[in-house]
Amino acid sequence: MTSTFRTLTVPLDGNASAGGLPQFLVRDDVLCWTRREAGLVGFGEITRFTATGPERFLEADIWWRHLVLEADITDSVVLPGTGPVAFGSFAFSKKSAHESRLIVPEIVVGVRDGQYWLTQLTLDDGELTREGALAALDRWLSGGSTAPAPAAAGGTPGEVPAPAGGAVVRPVPLAAGATMHTGSLSEEDWMAAVTAGVAEIRTGALEKLVLARDIVATVPSGVNAAKVLRELAVRYRECWTYGVDGLVGATPEMLIQVEGRTAQARVLAGTLDRRDAHGEDGLPMEYAERVLAGSEKQRHEHEIAIQSLTSQLAPFSEAMNAHDEPFILELPNVWHLASDVKAELTEVEGHVPTSLALINALHPTAAVCGTPTEVAGALIRKLEHLDRGPYAGPVGWLDAAGNGEWGIALRGAVIEDPHTLRLYAGCGIVDGSLPEAELAETWAKFRPMLESLGIAN
């Protein structure tokens, strides 16, 4: 006889704390999805699903729906992200050997619009109570923590500086003895791959190609994943900081966010390193508008990405709108051309599609693969000489109602062992792309992870 999946969600005191959700990032094994001090963190694991291959999203969706179908759910908060929740990370490629996964935690802390809640999840038969849930949270926070425990409501959130109101972010001490190594391709070989990609584009075989590369960072003192996540959450507040089973990062790109019948996405394509503005006349944003928004190449790359997303989302939508003109997203390391897309979902085969059903249809977009998809995917495998694993794949969470937030796993790394991380960065290649400029762009995109590790570049 199998046990029933049961969850209890209760309000959690803490809305007076200045630290928000990042104050709970105290364990290296924490599951994390946070932006602007809100989101979800998970502790422990009661079950997981893994899959590989082209049906990985649909198989995960079926597994999750079966798990929650007869779940015993007690929820006094009733918001997206309350009740049963799973965190997920999916391989970029259907041909990848990397296992995609959904992980159901034991405890989830959520923050939304200043409201905090706590969910306990179990497959055991014991009674779930508010007191028991609080005790379980306390055990996770106090056992094996790598940072000061969260403060009580109204207190100081450990060593994490309050991020609101433009607070000064302290510099990260340089990691003693940390080194970087070439990944699958040397810089010269990767630039040769860019040249080959541009040549293929000029034949008319494809319009855009996204090429990624990897580097390996070694930290003799050890990789402190919780510290990395806290640094990213504080420094990159406009991004979604994620941590799932050794995959960590802060992505600026939302593949799909689903709340009821409303779906939203943030599409990025077109990048400018903020260091390029040093010594330029005028204000930095004026420079970005002139160089980035005024670039025919960058705008062309962005338009391809928008068309990719909207055409794939259209069959699931009864109404959709997107920005007529991209806006400039300002991040600490780069500027991006960005567009937000919003759609009202329609019923497909009698029900509104879940977030996993949508990412099955949307991934991979032109923003991380290219167009046409099949041609670009084949060329990626030929030129990159690496298995991207979860890099540029969907990462995020979903609940029992099918709501969820799935970013694209960018600006991140995979922790391969206690002292080693593999970092990934990629660039959109179109006709007119220059190998040296694309290489420099990858270094700008590596910067968030390198800074969070205390590695200068």
- Write out the chain in H/E/C secondary structure: CCCCCEEEEEECCCCCCCCCHHHHCCCCCCEEEEECCEEEEEECCCEEEEECCCCHHHHHHHHHHHHHHCCEEEECCCCCCCCCEEEEECCCCCCCCCCEEEEECCEEEEEECCEEEEEEEECCCCCCCHHHHHHHHHHHHHCCCCCCCCCCCCCCCCCCCCCHHHCCCCCCCCCCCCEEEECCCCHHHHHHHHHHHHHHHHCCCCCEEEEEEEEEEECCCCCCHHHHHHHHHHHCCCCEEEEECCEEEEECCEEEEEECCEEEEEEEEEEEEHHHHCCCCCCHHHHHHHHHHCCHHHHHHHHHHHHHHHHHHHHHEEEEEECCCCEEEECCCEEEEEEEEEEEECCECCECCCHHHHHHHHCCCCCCCEECHHHHHHHHHHHHCCCCCCCCCEEEEEECCCCEEEEECCCEEEEEECCEEEEEEEEEECCCCCHHHHHHHHHHHHHHHHHHHCCCC
CA distance 315 to 327: 26
Instruction: Name residue, tokens 């729906």.
Output: 65
Q: Kindly list the catalytic residues.
A: 208, 253
Identify whether the C-beta of residue 319 lies closer than 8 Å to the C-beta of residue 341: no
- Residues in Cβ contact with 71 at an 8 Å cutoff, skipping those fewer than 6 apart: 4, 5, 6, 7, 84, 400
Give the tokens for residue 326.
């991209």
